[in-house]
Structure 1
């Protein structure tokens, strides 16, 4: 087994010479084999090893006995030892979560603290090939999301370095043979034999049947996991780019929105991932009752022909479709930060906005010099009445000297307008929907050009609020 594990380490570039490696050790066969293996290559690879073991306070005195056992073995093998007793039951109660999730969170928090304290490069864990098979099969049974099938990663960033799993290329039987040949007598957790736990059920009932059909299934599944992981990494990178380009968020509160046409222009594989990125951004912790059903509801909402419609998600999250936009916000959250509006501007007339801003329109026989917050046009060039509204998906405008038209989004980007301001920016249009003025930014050109002396003058005054 030593040669195959060493080859696996080299292939995946898991450890560098001279590194500091923390080894998570429970006292069971897998972690004891890993600790012994790393100890056997310690001098050759010039490794600084530190064993770290945790009592989760879940099995009374037995878990403390496991901790004492690991400490004793580390003394025998001359390996520095760090032990801790974590109050998982209290943490579970405080956070209102399951036992296994609570134990994992506390364990990894402690691992991260020790990584930083010891300035470690790696945290080595004893997951093996059979664990990988179990994880992939469980993902198939429990999830409708393809990203869940990337399995246990061989290596991933963590704290000051990386988590590594050198044993993912070997089986449980190989590990058992390894510890037996070296007279290592590990501690056995009796709950590993209780099939009431989901993973134990797969371990005892399902995986042996798969091995009957393919004794090398751990290698097959590991290769599948690696290729899926590479594909998923690429898709996530592309989805992250899409998220940054099309999704507008509010940094002060949980809120997100996007223009539906821009979202639907993305590939369907990226749409799903951008959707999940939005949920991860909004929720502090994803609700347990959030499932693929909500994903289906989301895409059905996008396809709906209705202009205004809402759906409810878990934990008071609402999705609201407002014509060309889709907004995500929490029910208790005030929505005044991104209101849409559509107002008719009579001539002469005036519109007052909640922020104190004012738009006025008057007829004039004299053309005055224009400035940033005024707009003049010939009254016969446009279709009355005028309207002031927020932008809509696909809005474009044209002006003198421009070949074709330009998206409002691109005008905002060029002007470096913050995303939080774009949704409420006032847009002046005529009755045919022609954008005449992106107020304060760009003056458009009417479709027709006539010469007379009857003008309409529109002025904008910014509010003090």
Structure 2
């Protein structure tokens, strides 16, 4: 099998003499196999290997045992070991990703960090032939174009996949022959995730029902599409240079020239614009590409937001794609006058009054006027924008959460979060103005005095 991997390496020019390779090793069968093979090829290519393990902090003690397993192996082989512990569930929630997407994000972030630290030039990951086929199916289910039918590229920039032409059964046989016992992640055998469902249910069903080797058939198709796609990408790059102007921060595409291109080339040009800005195509889907192309026939200044802080807009004869520039945060802070009026330049005005409960006729009169139990207000109420550590107990939702989590749950755009006025006592949020008040300060059957706060935008 080592000869087969060497053949793959040479076919795709994955490795050259004196390469410094950062390897992602989970301890599972695939990565253990890759580690053993590249270690055996170390002298042939005069390689320097650096091992990275990422604990996603999902499987508790089992994940810690996997990390220790990989570290022990690196110590035995005298290879540098780098451990990263990332709370993938938390990151997924914060970024609006699935856990699978967040896991991929943190892994490649870790690989790049070590690559930079050791001055390496390649990242090796252990995707195999089965992974390619599973990815093709997943992309088909999502409604992918030609690029999705490639599945996984053998080489993508500085990322190499030495096992890409090896089937999972061959890997298991190799490990058995070498008496290598991998760490087993039993979640891979549960149909919790889409990929597992494809692996455990869909592929076996197709093989049994149609009596075919679907892995080999789909992989062959993916390989043909890869070659054809490579050709089209090279042609598209030539057209890009004729149609577009790139200055690192933004790309201008001449709309007249863009419209003369075939729709297939137009889509490829949009993806290429995005890739040149972001560094990869990850996150951009078919619907995003179609939304960008729809701008061609819209009025000037029309704009859409794309994933990963990139935007596209029409400006006269140009389609512009660019990174969203971070806006300077204007910090504001003022003590709320109770009773009285508090004015904050550029934010607005707060008018407050304290009434006896029997003077209050109606408790809900809009999102900019709220009623609070005055006796529950202990301390100065401050009008300000958000700060690290803010805690909020949204009305009628039960329990406290970080303000950041509330913003995510309510799908409040990131770009406006710093400008939303907050009423706070220390780090406890009393009212997210325009959205929701805190459950802790609501009027109830024991309320005697009511604090009325009316906000007017300024």
* TM-score, structure 1 as length reference: 0.58
Measured in 2, the distance between the counterparts of 1:248 and 1:147 equals: 24
Give the alignment's Cα RMSD to 1 decimal. Answer: 3.7
**Aligned counterparts of 2:18 and 2:278: Cα–Cα separation in 1:** 41
Q: How far is the alpha carbon of 1:34 from its aligned partner? A: 1.3
Structure 1 residues 318 and 24, CA gap change in structure 2 (3 angstroms): closer
- Indicate if the aligned counterparts of 2:175 and 2:181 stay in contact, CA closer than 8 A: yes
Partner Cα distance (2:311, 2:20) in 1: 45
How far apart, in 1, do the equivalents of 2:320 and 2:186 lie?
47
8 Å CA contact 2:52, 2:110 repeated in 1: no
2:269 corresponds to which residue?
Answer: 274
1:231 alignment partner, one of 225, 228, 238: 228
Tell me which moved more, 208-217 or 226-235: 208-217
Q: Does 1:186 align with 2:214?
A: no
Residues in 1 aligned to 2:216 and 2:85: alpha-carbon distance in whole angstroms = 36
Contact persistence 1:29–1:186 (CA under 8 A): yes
Preserved CA contact (<8 Å) 2:21 2:50: yes
Would the alpha carbon gap of residues 225 and 300 (structure 1) be closer, same or farther in structure 2, given more than 3 Å must change?
same
1:298 Cα deviation after fit: 6.5
Matched, 1:175 2:174: no
Once residues 175 and 14 of structure 1 are traced to their aligned partners in structure 2, the CA distance between those partners, rounded to angstroms, is 20
Gaps (5+ residues) in structure 2?
326-458
User: What do the CA deviations read for 1:108-154 (whole angstroms, capped 9, x no partner)?
Assistant: 12111212222324322111111011111211221242222222111
Distance in structure 2 (CA, Å) of the matches to 1:225 and 1:73: 35
> How many angstroms apart in 2 are the aligned matches of 1:123 and 1:309?
43
Aligned to 2:110: 110
Superposed displacement of residue 184, structure 1:
1.8
Matches within 5 A, 1:204-283: 204-212=200-208, 213=210, 217-247=214-244, 256=252, 258-260=254-256, 262-278=257-273
Query: Contact 1:25 / 1:53 at 8 angstroms: preserved in 2?
Result: yes
* Residues 39, 211 of structure 1: alpha-carbon distance in 2 compared, 3 angstrom cutoff: farther
- 1:225, CA displacement in angstroms? 2.8
Q: How many residue pairs align between the two structures?
A: 320
- Say whether residues 1:148 and 2:148 are aligned partners: yes
Q: Which residue of 1 aligns with 2:13?
A: 13
Larger radius of gyration: 1
After superposition, give the CA deviation of every residue in 1:81-109 in whole Å (9 maximum; x if it has no partner).
Answer: 22222343443344333322222222112
* Structure 2 residue matching 1:54: 3-state secondary structure: strand
Change (3 A) 1:309 1:42: closer
Change beyond 3 A, Cα 1:318–1:180: closer
TM-score, normalization by structure 2: 0.59
Instruction: Quickly say closer, same or farther: Cα 1:263–1:91, change in 2 above 3 A.
Output: same
Rounded to whole Å, the distance in 2 between the matches of 1:301 and 1:95 is 27
C-alpha distance 43-327 of structure 1, shift in aligned 2 (>3 A): closer
Q: How far 1:76 moved relative to its partner?
A: 2.9
1:146-184 C-alpha deviation (Å, 9 max, x unpaired) = 2222221111223xxxx2211111111111111122222
Q: Which segments of 5 or more consecutive residues in structure 1 lack a partner in the other structure?
A: 334-465
Distance 1:235 1:70, change over 3 A: same
8 A Cα contact 1:154 1:164, kept in partner: yes
The CA distance in 2 between the partners of 1:287 and 1:34, in whole Å, is 25
Query: Does the CA contact (< 8 Å) of 1:130 and 1:172 recur in 2?
Result: yes
Partner of 2:440: none
With over 3 angstroms needed to count, the CA separation of the structure-2 counterparts of 1:78 and 1:217, relative to structure 1, is farther
For the residue of structure 2 that corresponds to 1:21, the secondary structure is strand
2: CA distance, partners of 1:68 / 1:210: 38
Residue 196 of structure 2 is aligned to residue 200 of structure 1: yes
